Amino acid sequence: MRAQTATAHEPRHRRHAPNRYSDPQWQALREAAGQFGLCPGRADEALGHMLEGALATLLQSGLPPAAVMDLIPVRPLQAIEESVTAAYGTALPALFAKIRPTA
C-alpha cells in the first residue's frame, strides 16, 4: 500500500488515516480552540501541528517517556492522568483479548 502524500492544498497532518478512536478527544480540543478565539481553519492547523510535534518528540527525540512528559511545565489535566492511563491499561487489553485470534 502506498503512503498518502500531502498536496499543496492539504496540510501535512492530514496525509495519514485518522485515528477514529481518538476523534472525540481531538474534537474536544478543536471546540476548545474555538472558544479561545481561533477560527476553525487555524484550530485544525494548530491541532495538527500539536499532535505531530508531540508524537515526534515522544518517538524521535531519544528521550525516555518520563523526560518527554516533563518538558511541559503546566499539566492542566494532571488530576485525571492516572485514571486515563489506567483506562488504557484495562480497557484496551480486555478488548484485545476479545478480538485476539486463537491458535
Q: What is the pLDDT of residue 16?
A: 52
Phi-psi region of 81 (alpha: psi -120 to 50; beta: other; left: phi over 0): alpha
- Domain count across the chain: 1
The x, y and z cell numbers of residue 79, run together, are 488530576
Q: What percent of the chain has pLDDT over 70?
A: 78
The CA distance from 30 to 94, in Å, is 30
Domain that holds residue 71: 23-99
7 belongs to a structural domain: no
Confidence of residue 80 (pLDDT cuts 50, 70, 90): very high
36 belongs to a structural domain: yes
Q: Which residue has the higher pLDDT, 97 or 62?
A: 62
Could you tell me which of 55, 29, 56 has the C-alpha nearest to residue 43?
A: 29
Q: Is 58's pLDDT higher than 50? A: yes
**pTM listed for this prediction:** 0.65
